[in-house]
Amino acid sequence: MKKVLFIFFLSLFSFNSHCFAEIALFKNMMVSVGKSERLSKTLSVFRLQNNKNEELKESDFLGEEISGKAGSNISSYMQKQEKYFSSIKNVTIKRLRGGEVLEISIPTESLFQNNDSTFTEMADLSLRPILTFVRKNTTDLVVGVHTDNTGSKSYLESISLARAKALENWFVTNRLDKKRLEVVSYADSLPVETNDSMLNRRKNRRVTFYLIPNKEMIKQAKKGKL
């Protein structure tokens, strides 16, 4: 009898654990969907490519989701590449546009000195994997520089722009074709959290890197050669 009761309670525990895992997975999916809504928010940002303020949103850079087998091939390929960036300290990786685009987010303090556009000694270790990946693969790179809301508007725009220029210069100096690079200064216009605590402000101070399939990758995907 004791053995039967033990098996029953063990089965019940296993069932509940499975249910909780499913609920947690669904919750994470909902959070991911909710945060992707910010990609459609129109903002006034500084675009280095055109050297002026423009009305843009992050989704403008992502393009449209690729349909059919090509899109599926690219999504599968990009999923396999996530581990390539696991060596970057404090990195956050998301998959956007049906999994075809990788968003790599790195805390500002990993790249820049405090209140400065000078790179930290460890910045190269964070940027090098991204540079190597883009140069070896048929992807384009979009970089977005973000701040928290600490300071005047003019200061935030100034420091964000200076850091954006520093990043653009770093990638071009390291032989990334400028035609494959887009750098945008957002300042504090696109927070991922409210700026009501030290932790949330830290989350908002970030640099995002979008790895986006270009025409050559789409062509290879259609041929099944990725």
Same domain, 69 and 28: no
In angstroms, the CA 83 to CA 17 distance is 28
Same domain, 114 and 125: yes
Same domain, 79 and 173: yes
Same domain, 165 and 54: yes
Q: Are 3 and 9 in contact (CB under 8 A)?
A: no
Walk along the chain (226 residues) and give the pLDDT tens digit of each residue.
544 444 444 444 343 443 333 323 222 222 232 344 556 678 778 878 777 778 877 777 777 888 888 999 999 999 988 888 888 888 999 998 889 999 999 999 999 999 999 999 999 999 999 999 999 888 999 999 999 999 999 999 999 999 999 999 999 999 999 999 999 999 999 999 999 999 999 999 999 999 999 998 999 899 888 8
Nearest to 61 by CA among 74, 70, 77, 48: 48
Q: Taking the CA of residue 120 as centre, how many other CA atoms within 13 Å lie in the half-sphere pointing to its CB? A: 16
Same domain, 12 and 74: no
Same domain, 107 and 174: yes
Beta bridge pairs of residue 105? 92, 208
CATH number at residue 168: 3.30.1330.60
Same domain, 13 and 72: no
- Give the range of the structural domain holding residue 4, as residue numbers without chain letter: 1-40
Same domain, 79 and 121: yes
In angstroms, the CA 13 to CA 72 distance is 38
Same domain, 4 and 114: no
Same domain, 59 and 145: yes
Number of domains in the chain: 2
Same domain, 91 and 167: yes
Same domain, 89 and 103: yes
